[in-house]
Amino acid sequence: MRLEKPLPPNSVIGILGGGQLGRMLALAAARLGLQCHIFAPEPESPAFQVAAAHTCAAYADEKALAAFAAAVDVVTYEFENVPAETAALLGRLKPLAPGAEALATSQDRFTEKTFLSKIGLATAPFAAVEDGESLEKAIARIGRPAILKTRRFGYDGKGQTTLEADTALDRAWAAIGAKPAILEGFVAFEKEVSVIAARGWDGAIAVYDVPENHHAGHILRKSIVPAAIASETEAEARDIAARITTALDYVGVIGVELFLAREDGRERLIVNEIAPRVHNSGHWTMDACLVSQFEQHIRAVAGWPLGSPDRHSNVVMTNLLGGEADSWRDLAREPHTGIHLYGKAESRPGRKMGHVNRLTPRQD
Amino acid sequence: MRLEKPLPPNSVIGILGGGQLGRMLALAAARLGLQCHIFAPEPESPAFQVAAAHTCAAYADEKALAAFAAAVDVVTYEFENVPAETAALLGRLKPLAPGAEALATSQDRFTEKTFLSKIGLATAPFAAVEDGESLEKAIARIGRPAILKTRRFGYDGKGQTTLEADTALDRAWAAIGAKPAILEGFVAFEKEVSVIAARGWDGAIAVYDVPENHHAGHILRKSIVPAAIASETEAEARDIAARITTALDYVGVIGVELFLAREDGRERLIVNEIAPRVHNSGHWTMDACLVSQFEQHIRAVAGWPLGSPDRHSNVVMTNLLGGEADSWRDLAREPHTGIHLYGKAESRPGRKMGHVNRLTPRQD
């Protein structure tokens, strides 16, 4: 179902998922006078604290989903692993953005890479793996080292294993749980960057400046904006975002993770992954732009005109993992640091507890 | 009761009042991982929509106040007309910021002006008025034109009347309800400006740049930052804020309304009014500063280090009154305009429904 007209203030945005992304979406919606209704199964969901209404129920609870749909004007989500049946049920009752195609494409790594190839974008070499035999065939074609990933439900490095020259195939296959998988060739990249873009129901597109991303243990640590990349590469990233969102008839904010490789001295972008939602590497927009990725997503799904993605400051975003958030007093003493803490009750090693945006004046 | 130590994330800030100021305070607290519990008598309070908890009860409901106090770690408020008994009751149970002295001083125009005079700040000439006789005496001293205002519960021009040369004193006295009043002499001012400052439990002070304010019908329409004033005047405004907050042992954000007059060619500031709370003329900080007045207030009352009041952009804040907020789609199309709508269910002529901050790059 498509949104028929822009949602006026006091309309209700339904959000599936109650983590920090849902929370920051709800805070952004409130700025615009829009209410949020959060649907999440975890009673301690951080987004519940800042939303006008919430439903604490399982994603398979059809009765709860129907009541949720009846209470909201549009449905969106903070995570890509929304069950297909949940999305289908809600999409029949209310406009769902991003739509079912974006969700299906990004939920399955093989479908995703096939889609990207089809629209002419560069990806790592890849092959579907269903069993030991197809894994052997894939290795023969792609070579080693390579990465074996489950097709579905992987994030932050979970559900993947690296195949070095001496890795036994049966052990790798067991390591990922012997599930439908994809084998991906290694990309010799110089940098990881990403592009955060929004597309409206009307097809309008707004793209933020490209951040350079640093990971540790598969978890994002830092995003630096602007990235030290050629202006042609920046333009190419924008083009990639436009092609993906247009091909998917996408509505909302999207995060596209990219590898930057060098070929014959020139920078080249290879698409790694699509996230059909606001993205951790876009958190810097909260303090360095007038319209954050969260407000932009709300504007997009609610049918509002997209905001300007202009950036008024340079910025380094750093995630606060586990105990790192305990240094909030020291962080609060830094004069040009925006602090964001997620209201999570329990700290665990590696858990995203918050982030900081350190601003410096633009140099251009 | 004073705050013993800084409140860690997940602590609960209690806020009296559920209007737009309470709402924006709650949104700012959420950024820092702090929860809010709103206490307000109106069931449709906009702040309820974004707070982790709320109590809908009368300010005189002692049982509800005690339960509220038990549920929060510190108490603050969004409006200066908190009943003294309410403040006293809560202040015995939990740290209250700003404190009872600030509240008592700003609730009574005569007490306020007497305080300002005592600490050596310039005000309009003033005299207490209890009846027709004292009104005549006051007029004899202050002259006409003058303004007769109730000592208590006046805001946005309510509870005041101007005494022109031919105004009958008994009619003026009746017009303000024959209540304890203050007669204030006219100040021939060039401009209205204000200063928004914060002071922490530790006595640290942070002051924002001075906005120039334009009113219509006693309601703020626009704040322009920076104000076109001499740098000495800017420094004087900062000094005024420091002197007031220090004298009151103030904790939190304060708004001080000032008249700018010219004497022998030099600018001179005259204090008009103190608001012991976040202030409409500080709403521009939401988009032109990293740390808004709302976050600053939360930091102050929660015992956190104050944030930098630095401003990264020039800005004009415009209030959206009544039907003006209906043009949200056009406003959303403006590329460098931050939109803030308050989630009020009902629009009435002159009612503050939201505001916009229009940014331009700094010129210095």
pLDDT tens column, B313-344: 999 999 999 999 999 999 999 999 999 999 99
**A188, pLDDT greater than 80:** yes
Output the pLDDT for position A155: 63
pLDDT more than 70, % of chain B: 99
**A350, pLDDT greater than 90:** yes
**Residues of chain B scoring pLDDT < 50:** none
Query: Which residue in A333, A335, A343 is closest to B30 by CB distance?
Result: A343
Q: Give A71→chain B minimum CA distance, Å.
A: 15
Cα dihedral A36, A32, A305, B325 in deg (nearest 10): 130
Output the pLDDT for position B56: 98
Positive or negative: CA dihedral B313, B318, B319, B325: negative
Residue B35 to residue A49, Cβ atoms within 8 A: yes
A313 touches chain B (CB under 8 A): yes
Residue found under tokens 């060098």: A262
Give contacts of A27 with chain B, Cβ < 8 Å: 27, 30-31, 50
CATH of A191-361, one of 3.30.470.20, 2.170.190.11, 3.30.200.20, 3.90.550.10: 3.30.470.20
Residue A225: closest CA among A317, A297, A296:
A317
Q: How far is CA A64 from CA A41, B81, B336, in A?
A: 11, 43, 40
Q: Give A75→chain B minimum CA distance, Å.
A: 18
Q: How far is CA B63 from CA A266, B48, B69, in A?
A: 71, 20, 10
Q: How far is CA B223 from CA A243, B156, B277, B307, in A?
A: 42, 16, 17, 22
A202 touches chain B (CB under 8 A): no
Beta-bridged to residue B194, according to DSSP, are B257
Q: Is A11 within 8 Å of A34 (Cβ atoms)?
A: yes
Secondary structure of chain A in HEC code, one letter for each residue:
CCCCCCCCCCCEEEEECCCHHHHHHHHHHHHECCEEEEEECCCCCHHHHHCCEEEECCCCCHHHHHHHHHHCCEEEECCCCCCHHHHHHHHHHCCECCCHHHHHHHHCHHHHHHHHHHCCCCECCEEEECCHHHHHHHHHHHCCCEEEEECCCCCCCCCEEEECCCCCHHHHHHHCCCCCEEEEECCCCCEEEEEEEEECCCCCEEECCCCEEEEECCEEEEEEECCCCCHHHHHHHHHHHHHHHHHCCCCEEEEEEEEEEEECCEEEEEEEEEECCCCHHHCCHHHHECCCHHHHHHHHHCCCCCCCCCECEEEEEEEEEHHHHHHHHHHHHCCCEEEEECCCCCCCCCCEEEEEEEEEECCC
Residue A308 to residue B336, Cβ atoms within 8 A: yes
Q: Is A325 within 8 Å of A355 (Cβ atoms)?
A: no
Residue of chain A whose alpha carbon sits nearest to that of B307 = A335
Pairwise CA distance, residues A22 & B279, whole Å: 29
Give contacts of A336 with chain B, Cβ < 8 Å: 290, 308, 310
Query: Which residue in B333, B345, B361 is closest to A10 by CB distance?
Result: B345
Q: Give B1→chain A minimum CA distance, Å.
A: 22
A204 touches chain B (CB under 8 A): no
Q: Give B331→chain A minimum CA distance, Å.
A: 9
Output the pLDDT for position B153: 78
Average confidence (pLDDT) over A171-191: 94
The reply to whether ipTM tops 0.90 is yes
Pairwise CA distance, residues A219 & A52, whole Å: 31
Q: Is B291 within 8 Å of B299 (Cβ atoms)?
A: yes
Pairwise CA distance, residues B219 & A23, whole Å: 34
Output the pLDDT for position B157: 67
Average confidence (pLDDT) over A235-246: 98
Output the pLDDT for position A158: 75
Q: Give A341→chain B minimum CA distance, Å.
A: 4
Across chain B, mean pLDDT equals 96
Pairwise CA distance, residues A124 & A106, whole Å: 16
Q: Give A315→chain B minimum CA distance, Å.
A: 12
Give the predicted TM-score (pTM) of the model. 0.96
Query: Which residue in A304, A307, A359 is closest to B290 by CB distance?
Result: A359
Give contacts of A307 with chain B, Cβ < 8 Å: 332, 335
Q: What residues 324-343 of chain B have any CB closer than 8 A to a CB of chain A?
A: 325, 328-329, 332-333, 335-343
Fold of A12-96: Rossmann fold (3.40.50)
Written as one letter, the residue type at B111 is T
Helix, strand, or coil (residue B51): coil
- pLDDT tens digit sequence for A92-113: 999 999 999 999 999 999 999 9
CATH class of A125-185: alpha beta
**A156, pLDDT greater than 70:** no
For residue B101, with 0-12 CB atoms within 10 Å meaning exposed, 13-18 middle and 19 or more buried, which class applies?
middle
Output the pLDDT for position A247: 98
- pLDDT tens digit sequence for A287-319: 999 999 999 999 999 999 999 999 999 999 999
Helix, strand, or coil (residue B275): strand
Residue of chain A whose alpha carbon sits nearest to that of B314 = A312
Instruction: List the strands of the sheet with A126-129, edge to edge.
Output: A126-129, A181-185, A146-150, A160-163
Q: Is B309 within 8 Å of B207 (Cβ atoms)?
A: yes
Q: For the stretch B351-364, what's the b/e string if a residue is b when 16 or more beta carbons lie within 10 angstroms of its beta carbon?
A: ebbbbbbbbeeeee
B162 touches chain A (CB under 8 A): no
Q: What residues 24-53 of chain B have any CB closer than 8 A to a CB of chain A?
A: 26-27, 30-35, 48-52
**A154, pLDDT greater than 80:** no
Query: Which residue in A329, A340, A343 is closest to B35 by CB distance?
Result: A343
Domain ranges of chain A: 12-96, 125-185, 191-361
